[in-house]
Structure 1
Amino acid sequence: MAAPRRTPQKRLSPQIYRRRRIVALTAVVLVLWAIISLISAVIGAIGAAFSGPTPSTAPTNVEGQQCASGDILATAIVGRQDGTEAESFATGEQPYIWFTIKNVGTVTCTFNAGPAVQFYTIRSGNDLIWTSRDCDRAGLLDQVVTLEPGQSVPSPTSPWERVRSSSTGCNAETQVPVEPGAYNLTVEVNGVLSDGNQFLLN
């Protein structure tokens, strides 16, 4: 008996082989891309865990804008009416107080240094003796000045009548005279506080 005759298998066209190769190659590329992305994500997470926080960039002052508080140096001064500084005063001699503000920044800027934002304080040790906050401040105004880098501007001198201040006022008509001794003056100008300036009343 004769063996059954096999039907010859039809050969696929070159186009089909080409498509299969493209599909296989695309699959390999996608797998490689997924592996690389996963590795990059893991490395990034490890780096973020071991690195510190990103430092913030400090704000910089722009020329012509308001001065940053850190760019202004306030200095409290004690002296005489003519603007001469002094460290001690004779019995009955009236001290005068004033301040200077200086632009210690690198650009020209504006700063409000008017009487409305000036506050003097005089202490003896921890004892608050006198503060301009107790004075009548009605009508005091702002005064904006333009300061170039390194420029220093003084305020007018003001007398201190060698008295204490209180909620009832700050002048000799209503307040108690102070005793001779060592005193310390500070000034706050628009939020900028000076160092103390010590002086002596005889």
Structure 2
Amino acid sequence: MRVRPTTPAALTEELADAVEAVQAPWARVAVDGAPGSGTVATADALAEALRVRGRDTVRVRMDDYVRAASVRLEFGHHDPESYYTTWFDHNGLTREVLRPLTSGGSGSVVPALWDSTLDRSPRLERVRLQRGGVALVDGPLMLGSGLDFDLTVHLWLPGGALARRVPEDLHWTLPAFSRYTEEVRPEALADHTVRTDRPGHPAIVDAL
């Protein structure tokens, strides 16, 4: 494995360069990782850097693209199999975010589809991205699922770091992430893989 230590600021700029290099009408970017890996902070920092560079950017969170409670919680609140297979609404994300940002698409996306706390749609207005804009989607279990992204980033928590960094109240999801690692190998599948097991000291994986 070849790993290159970096800083959060340098990582953001390197990822922004990678987004800028995407040859597509709009750039659809995934920042994938388990809770505790830093997906929200990484995607937020990247969005801000892209806006500074003049790129119209919208942030989307997979936590706002979950299925209704009747589907999501059919087998209880802490079922790792449901979390892995039915928790997130990938079809909704494709319909409302990814497909509109393809050649011939409208460029209009829905930033959030479902409020899991209220268990209803937040009824947000569509956001129209200028041509050349970027949709940044962060969340878990996105790679290898058929979601059509132009650029993928995986924040990798290797070995025992996963159990240390995932919040205790979400430890019930750990079997889902173990399965994800075994079946998908997201650290190998992503366009860019970043080790985040040392908070504040990311490391870019140049070769596994």
TM-score by length of 1: 0.22
Greater gyration radius: 1
Q: Which has the higher strand share?
A: 1
Higher relative contact order, structure no. (Cα contacts within 8 Å, ≥ 6 residues apart): 2
Q: Which has the higher helix share?
A: 2
